[in-house]
Structure 1
Amino acid sequence: MKKTRVTLRRKAIANGKFSLYLDFYPPCLNEETGEYSRREFLKLYLFAKPKNVMEKMNNAECQKTAELICIRRQNEMAKNDIYTPFELEQLRIREIGEKSFLQYFKKQADKRYGNNQKIWLSAIQHFIDFLESGDLKFKDVTVALVDDYRDYLLSARSRRTGEKLARNTALSYYNKVKTTLKKAYKEQLLQRDINTGLECIKEQESDRNYLTMEEVISLFKAKCPKEQVKRVGLFAILTGLRYSDIAKLKWKEVINTQSEGCYIRFTQKKTEKPENLPISEEAFEIMGDRGADNSPVFPDLKKWDFDRTIPVWVAAAGISKHITFHCFRHTYATLQIASGTDILTVSKMLGHKSIKTTQIYTKVVDERKREATGKIKLDKNF
């Protein structure tokens, strides 16, 4: 086998600069593209005619860095000539094992946005608290360690309130680690699929207050201290949208055509997933007159306004349940399933990642059916 020679070269580019690159001969395989190539551009640049001390320093530093990279690449090529494929794989495994799993975990959080990223960062902080040592190498990631982290989460306290973590919060944090493990295995950073040996955290079913159809009608008829709260609340019942998505909804996301009717094309704030949500004529009418494309459909919303006003509005409708804004979303889902809409369609309308989340509402409807069976009674004295 002919040995690969690596040479540092420069190429003249615009603005009076040179671009530094490595020249491989014979060409070597680029693992990213799967093709053989002779050049690797280093994204390091020299001034052709340095005019001051700063430019001279830049040239010296870039040249030194490029030379070090060149030596490193030559050593890597030498490994390929010296070691067997098996030995090379063992070297790769050993090198990866020394890398930081914690830093890899943090990189996964960096790829998220908004509230989702906040949850990831909280999960990482709890993982750091659990480790105590401050870091974790890939070679030290085991089923036993992740199981210990699971046990830690089930007894851990919130860093914000000091109270014990809710079971579903612990589940959310645990799933962030499992997602990272799955990705690491897929990228061959782990030699085994750790997830297959892990014990899960069971989701705790929470009470999901909702309104019956009769209560929705009562709410519609009832007087509300703030008209905007009523409009947005009814809109949520008719669409199932979260408050966060309604608050950021713009007119350019509202589409109405003769062939397809009215629908909303938006990106969920929670999941960051693009959605196409068909809405009813009633929901469309509630939005009012169309504004400019970039203007909000419901301007100047304040969450605390809803938190204060909804209980007053609900009481005015003669409803004694504890109802929050998010209960309007539960109402939409429950009424859809109760009216016969199949669960897959409801799941898509709500933008759920998993149909398991939507199945909670079918249990609510089944409980109502069970209650209904006892409402028809025979007179035993006939």
Structure 2
Amino acid sequence: MGRTKVSLRSRPISKGRRTLYLEFYPPVRVQASMKMQRYETLGMYIFAKPKTLTQKEYNAAVMAQAEAIRAMRVQAVINEEFGFLDKEKLNGDFLAYFYKEAQQRNNSWMSCYKHFHTFVDGHCTFRQLNVDLCTRFREYLLNAKQLDAPDIPLSVNSASNYYRKFRGMLAITLRDDYIREDINKHLERIEAKRNRIEFLTFEELYELSKTPCDIPVLKRASLFSCLTGLRISDVMKLQWPDIVPNIKGTGYNMRLRTEKTEAEAIWPLSPDAMELCGLREEGAVFKGLTRSMLNKPLKKWLTDAGITKHITFHGFRHTYAVLQLASGTDIYTVSKMLTHKHVTTTEIYLDLLDEMKQDTLGRIRLFKET
């Protein structure tokens, strides 16, 4: 059988008009439904018997547009690309597709999904995805409120993070052939603001380690993060089977798939880190640790240690990075230990290292004050 021919046809409709459609002979197969399809409706019409100059000009313009579409379909047939016939795919539920992808990732993706669900009022097909819609979602994020605190505006950095996730979703949608246009090429990013990153110095970390905490598991988990760079989500899900003897049999390694980057990594654990884990047993290493402990209990412990900086649990991860660099660990190793995808992400800690060096000014003196 020869190659499919594409012909422009018309048939009469109401009010003296004719609707235009394409005919494929022999028919082509629609991949989504696996059905053979012979016709494609263009959603265009012409006047059957144009009476005025305006109607004649209109007919000529529409026919030229229809002929251009026919030419594109001929090229698609030659390349055996029949996605344009996948009406069912185009009319598919983008929100359901988005939700499925978000479920397989992390909380940030799910929050992005929830914001987009609110923005489109719970309905969006693949066909409706275009530059205008995505641009308006960008504006929505810049003016949105937090999901769990409707009176508090979404921070610029959160908006930037969610829009980055959404653009990632668009790339996945294009990859899976649900849309034909790379919408991301036409979208403007939301630039994040660099927040001041707080970390503990060697002296502050030592003081904190010697200061009693009302919740022992909070203290152990916090100091463990300072020694490993683990995020709170990964500390909470760390299980004893994740801690295994190293190849040499002289210590232990931690094998874990991080929640944010979904990357599996191996961390060598120092004797101090192993001691913080406590006695080996079934289940979680830091059993009983909850996010509610990261507010008042954590702040009280830091205050008791004489630390006035605004240190969050994530600040312990920053502490790990800066102190490793200050100790001479090369940036590529630190980047790998933090499971950063790009070393440029780790480079922000070099500025903090310079700041730490500035703090040492005047500590070594040759002459007494007069």
Same fold flag (TM > 0.5): yes
* 1:223 aligns to 2:185 (yes or no): no
* 8 Å CA contact 2:90, 2:178 repeated in 1: no
* 1:208 aligns to 2:192 (yes or no): no
Residues 306/168 of structure 1: CA separation in 2 closer, same or farther (3 Å cut): closer
Residues 254/169 of structure 1: CA separation in 2 closer, same or farther (3 Å cut): same
Aligned equivalent of 2:326: 338
Residues 285/377 of structure 1: CA separation in 2 closer, same or farther (3 Å cut): closer
Residues 324/128 of structure 1: CA separation in 2 closer, same or farther (3 Å cut): closer
Aligned equivalent of 1:291: 281
Shift of 1:197: 2.6
SS class of match (2:252): strand
Shift of 1:329: 1.4
For 1:240, which of 211, 222, 229 is the aligned residue?
A: 229
What does residue range 1-382 of structure 1 map to in structure 2 within 5 Å?
1=1, 73-75=35-37, 84=74, 86-87=76-77, 92-96=82-86, 99-100=89-90, 103-113=93-103, 116=106, 118-131=107-120, 134-138=123-127, 141-142=130-131, 144-162=132-150, 163-257=152-246, 259=248, 261-292=251-282, 295-370=283-358
Query: For 1:246-270, what per-residue CA distance to the aligned partner results, in whole angstroms no more than 9, with x for missing partners?
Result: 2222211101236164210122233
Query: What is the CA–CA distance in structure 2 between the aligned matches of 1:224 and 1:334, rounded to whole Å?
Result: 24
SS class of match (1:181): helix
Shift of 1:206: 1.7
Query: What is the CA–CA distance in structure 1 between the aligned matches of 2:95 and 2:147, rounded to whole Å?
Result: 19
Residues 217/140 of structure 1: CA separation in 2 closer, same or farther (3 Å cut): closer
Query: What is the CA–CA distance in structure 2 between the aligned matches of 1:312 and 1:130, rounded to whole Å?
Result: 40
SS class of match (2:356): helix
* 8 Å CA contact 2:229, 2:338 repeated in 1: yes
Amino acid at match of 1:239: T
Shift of 1:358: 2.3
Alignment length, in residue pairs?
311
Query: What is the CA–CA distance in structure 1 between the aligned matches of 2:331 and 2:91, rounded to whole Å?
Result: 39
Query: For 1:59-110, what per-residue CA distance to the aligned partner results, in whole angstroms no more than 9, with x for missing partners?
Result: xxxxxxxxxx8xx735479xxxxx8563587983533477458823531431
* 8 Å CA contact 2:199, 2:318 repeated in 1: yes
Residues 320/196 of structure 1: CA separation in 2 closer, same or farther (3 Å cut): same
Amino acid at match of 1:110: K
Query: What is the CA–CA distance in structure 2 between the aligned matches of 1:111 and 1:125, rounded to whole Å?
Result: 13
Amino acid at match of 2:202: M
Amino acid at match of 1:147: T
Query: What is the CA–CA distance in structure 1 between the aligned matches of 2:122 and 2:205, rounded to whole Å?
Result: 54
Query: What is the CA–CA distance in structure 2 between the aligned matches of 1:304 and 1:115, rounded to whole Å?
Result: 23
Residues 271/103 of structure 1: CA separation in 2 closer, same or farther (3 Å cut): farther
Query: What is the CA–CA distance in structure 2 between the aligned matches of 1:146 and 1:73, rounded to whole Å?
Result: 32
Amino acid at match of 2:94: Y
Query: For 1:132-190, what per-residue CA distance to the aligned partner results, in whole angstroms no more than 9, with x for missing partners?
Result: 69434436512x44233222211222243222211121112212221122123223433
Residues 235/129 of structure 1: CA separation in 2 closer, same or farther (3 Å cut): closer
Amino acid at match of 1:336: Q
Query: For 1:248-300, what per-residue CA distance to the aligned partner results, in whole angstroms no more than 9, with x for missing partners?
Result: 222111012361642101222333332212221211122233224xx222222
Query: What is the CA–CA distance in structure 1 between the aligned matches of 2:243 and 2:301, rounded to whole Å?
Result: 28
Residues 74/129 of structure 1: CA separation in 2 closer, same or farther (3 Å cut): closer
* 8 Å CA contact 1:100, 1:135 repeated in 2: no
Residues 271/140 of structure 1: CA separation in 2 closer, same or farther (3 Å cut): closer
Query: What is the CA–CA distance in structure 2 between the aligned matches of 1:138 and 1:89, rounded to whole Å?
Result: 23
* 8 Å CA contact 1:184, 1:190 repeated in 2: yes
Query: What is the CA–CA distance in structure 1 between the aligned matches of 2:145 and 2:265, rounded to whole Å?
Result: 35
* 8 Å CA contact 1:236, 1:328 repeated in 2: yes
Query: For 1:27-66, what per-residue CA distance to the aligned partner results, in whole angstroms no more than 9, with x for missing partners?
Result: x99989xxxxxxxxxxxxxxxxxxxxxxxxxxxxxxxxxx
Shift of 1:343: 2.3
Amino acid at match of 2:265: E
* 8 Å CA contact 2:94, 2:125 repeated in 1: no
Query: What is the CA–CA distance in structure 1 between the aligned matches of 2:129 and 2:292, rounded to whole Å?
Result: 47
Shift of 1:346: 1.4
* 8 Å CA contact 2:321, 2:334 repeated in 1: yes
Gaps of 5+ in 2: 4-27, 40-72
CA RMSD, 1 decimal = 3.8
Shift of 1:211: 0.6
Gaps of 5+ in 1: 4-27, 33-68, 78-82
Moved more, 297-306 or 127-136: 127-136
Residues 374/258 of structure 1: CA separation in 2 closer, same or farther (3 Å cut): same
* 8 Å CA contact 2:111, 2:162 repeated in 1: yes
Residues 227/187 of structure 1: CA separation in 2 closer, same or farther (3 Å cut): closer
